[in-house]
Structure 1
Amino acid sequence: MNEIQLERVDFELGKSFKLFSPRLRNTFLWHYHPEIELVYVQADAGIRHVGTHISTYTQSDLVFIGSNIPHLNFDYRLRSDYHQIVIQLRTDFLGEAISISPEFSAIRQLFKKADQGIAFTGETKAIVGEKLAKLGQLNSYKQLIELMDIFNLLAHASDVEILNTNQSSKHFILKDKIRMGAIYEYIDANFHQKPDVNVVAAKVHLTTAAFCRYFKRQTNMTFTNFVNQYRIERAKNLLMQGNNVTETCYAIGFESLSYFNKLFNKIVGQNPSDFKRNYSGKVL
Structure 2
Amino acid sequence: MDKIQLEKVDFEPGKSFKLFSPRLRNTFLWHYHPEVELVYVEADAGIRHVGSHISGYTQQDLVLIGSNIPHLNFDYRLRSDYQQIVVQLKEDFMGTAIEATPEFAAINHLFKKAANGIAFHGETRAVAVEKLKQLPGMGSFQQLLGLIEIFNILAASSEYTVLNNDELNLQFFLKDKIRMGAVYEYIDKNYNLKPDVNEIAAKVNFATAAFCRYFKKQTKMTFTDFVNQYRIDVAKNLLMQDKNVTETCYAVGFESLSYFNKLFNKIVGINPSEFKKEWVDRN
With normalisation by structure 2, the TM-score equals 0.96
The equivalent of 1:57 in structure 2 is: 57
* Aligned-partner residue type, residue 7 of structure 1: E
> How does 1:215-234 map onto structure 2 within 5 Å?
215-234=215-234
1:81 deviation in Å?
A: 1.5
The equivalent of 2:194 in structure 1 is: 194
Unaligned runs of 5+ in 1: none
Deviations 1:168-224 (A, max 9, x none): 343223312331111000000000112000000011111101111111111111111
SS for the counterpart of 1:127 is helix
SS for the counterpart of 2:88 is strand
SS for the counterpart of 2:10 is coil
Separation (CA, whole Å) in 1 of partners of 2:157 and 2:280: 27
The equivalent of 1:105 in structure 2 is: 105
* Aligned-partner residue type, residue 248 of structure 1: T
1:47 deviation in Å?
A: 1.0
**Given that residues 20 and 85 in structure 2 are in contact (C-alpha distance below 8 angstroms), is that contact kept between their aligned partners in structure 1?**
yes
**Given that residues 43 and 83 in structure 1 are in contact (C-alpha distance below 8 angstroms), is that contact kept between their aligned partners in structure 2?**
yes
The equivalent of 1:145 in structure 2 is: 145
1:278 deviation in Å?
A: 2.2
Change (3 A) 1:48 1:234: same
Separation (CA, whole Å) in 2 of partners of 1:232 and 1:78: 15
1:64 deviation in Å?
A: 0.6
Separation (CA, whole Å) in 2 of partners of 1:59 and 1:207: 40
Change (3 A) 1:282 1:106: farther
* Aligned-partner residue type, residue 228 of structure 1: N
Separation (CA, whole Å) in 2 of partners of 1:100 and 1:276: 51
> How does 1:157-168 map onto structure 2 within 5 Å?
157-168=157-168
The equivalent of 1:43 in structure 2 is: 43
Separation (CA, whole Å) in 2 of partners of 1:204 and 1:237: 29
Change (3 A) 1:172 1:4: farther
The equivalent of 2:254 in structure 1 is: 254
1:56 deviation in Å?
A: 1.5
Separation (CA, whole Å) in 1 of partners of 2:35 and 2:61: 20
Bigger mean CA deviation after superposition, 270-279 or 251-260: 270-279
**Given that residues 182 and 204 in structure 1 are in contact (C-alpha distance below 8 angstroms), is that contact kept between their aligned partners in structure 2?**
yes
* Aligned-partner residue type, residue 154 of structure 1: L
**Given that residues 69 and 170 in structure 1 are in contact (C-alpha distance below 8 angstroms), is that contact kept between their aligned partners in structure 2?**
no
> How does 1:122-141 map onto structure 2 within 5 Å?
122-141=122-141
The equivalent of 1:2 in structure 2 is: 2
**Given that residues 51 and 69 in structure 2 are in contact (C-alpha distance below 8 angstroms), is that contact kept between their aligned partners in structure 1?**
yes
Unaligned runs of 5+ in 2: none
SS for the counterpart of 1:261 is helix
1:279 deviation in Å?
A: 2.6
**Given that residues 52 and 164 in structure 2 are in contact (C-alpha distance below 8 angstroms), is that contact kept between their aligned partners in structure 1?**
yes
The equivalent of 1:24 in structure 2 is: 24
Separation (CA, whole Å) in 2 of partners of 1:53 and 1:244: 29
The equivalent of 2:81 in structure 1 is: 81
* Aligned-partner residue type, residue 120 of structure 2: F
Separation (CA, whole Å) in 2 of partners of 1:82 and 1:155: 27
* Aligned-partner residue type, residue 210 of structure 2: A
**Given that residues 182 and 204 in structure 2 are in contact (C-alpha distance below 8 angstroms), is that contact kept between their aligned partners in structure 1?**
yes
Separation (CA, whole Å) in 1 of partners of 2:160 and 2:28: 26
Bigger mean CA deviation after superposition, 235-244 or 144-153: 235-244
**Given that residues 135 and 143 in structure 1 are in contact (C-alpha distance below 8 angstroms), is that contact kept between their aligned partners in structure 2?**
yes
Separation (CA, whole Å) in 1 of partners of 2:202 and 2:13: 46
Give the number of aligned pairs: 283
**Given that residues 44 and 80 in structure 2 are in contact (C-alpha distance below 8 angstroms), is that contact kept between their aligned partners in structure 1?**
yes
* Aligned-partner residue type, residue 9 of structure 2: V
SS for the counterpart of 1:59 is strand
Bigger mean CA deviation after superposition, 146-155 or 159-168: 159-168
**Given that residues 64 and 118 in structure 1 are in contact (C-alpha distance below 8 angstroms), is that contact kept between their aligned partners in structure 2?**
yes
Bigger mean CA deviation after superposition, 274-283 or 69-78: 274-283
Separation (CA, whole Å) in 2 of partners of 1:255 and 1:47: 23
**Given that residues 51 and 174 in structure 2 are in contact (C-alpha distance below 8 angstroms), is that contact kept between their aligned partners in structure 1?**
no
1:68 deviation in Å?
A: 1.0
**Given that residues 70 and 173 in structure 1 are in contact (C-alpha distance below 8 angstroms), is that contact kept between their aligned partners in structure 2?**
no
